Amino acid sequence: MQIFLARNNVQAGPYTLDQLNIMLTSGEVQLDDLIWHEGLDQWQRVGNLTNNQAFYRPAAAHIATHEVNDSIINNVTIFPEDDDADANKDKKSVSLDRLYGKPERSKNTTKTDMTTNRQYKPTGNASLNKPGANKNATANDKVIGNVVLAPIMSRVLATILNGLLYVLAIFPLVMALTKMDVDYSKFQNIQNMDVAYQYSVKLMESLPSSTLMISQVMVFGLFALQLIFITLRGQSLGKLITGIRVVDQTTHRLPSFTKLIGMRTLLLFIIYNLLFSFTSFLGFVIIAIHYYMASKSPENIGWHDKLAKTLVVKADSSQLVKEPKIK
- Digit-coded pLDDT (tens) for 207-234: 888 888 888 899 999 999 999 999 999 9
Measured between alpha carbons, how far is residue 51 from residues 4, 8, 9, 27, 109 in Å? 19, 22, 23, 16, 40
Total residue length of the chain: 327
pTM of the predicted structure, to 2 decimals: 0.55
- Which of 95-104, 213-222, 298-307 bottoms out in mean pLDDT, i.e. has the lowest? 95-104
Q: What is the pLDDT of residues 10-23, one digit of tens each?
A: 788 788 888 888 88
State the amino acid at position 60 in one-letter form: A
pLDDT at 220: 94
Q: Is the pLDDT of residue 235 over 70?
A: yes
CA nearest 59: which of 49, 71, 73?
A: 49
pLDDT mean over 69-87: 42
Range name among 29-38, 77-86, 251-260, 292-301 with the lowest pLDDT average: 77-86
Residues facing residue 314 across a β-bridge = 244
| The pLDDT value given to residue 139 | 65
pLDDT for residue 131: 42
Q: Which of 276, 28, 273, 58 lies closest to 133, judged by CA?
A: 28
What mean pLDDT value characterizes the chain?
74
Report the alpha-carbon distance of residue 12 to residue 74 in Å, rounded.
Answer: 10
User: Residue 285, Cβ neighbours under 10 Å: how many?
Assistant: 12
- Which one has a higher pLDDT value, 155 or 75? 155
Pick 284 or 84 by higher pLDDT: 284
Picking from 29, 9, 2, 38, the residue whose alpha carbon sits closest to that of residue 122 is: 29
**Which range is least confidently modeled, 115-124, 144-153, 162-171?**
115-124
The answer, yes or no, to whether residue 108 has pLDDT greater than 70, is no
> How would residue 136 be classed by pLDDT, with cut points 50, 70 and 90?
low
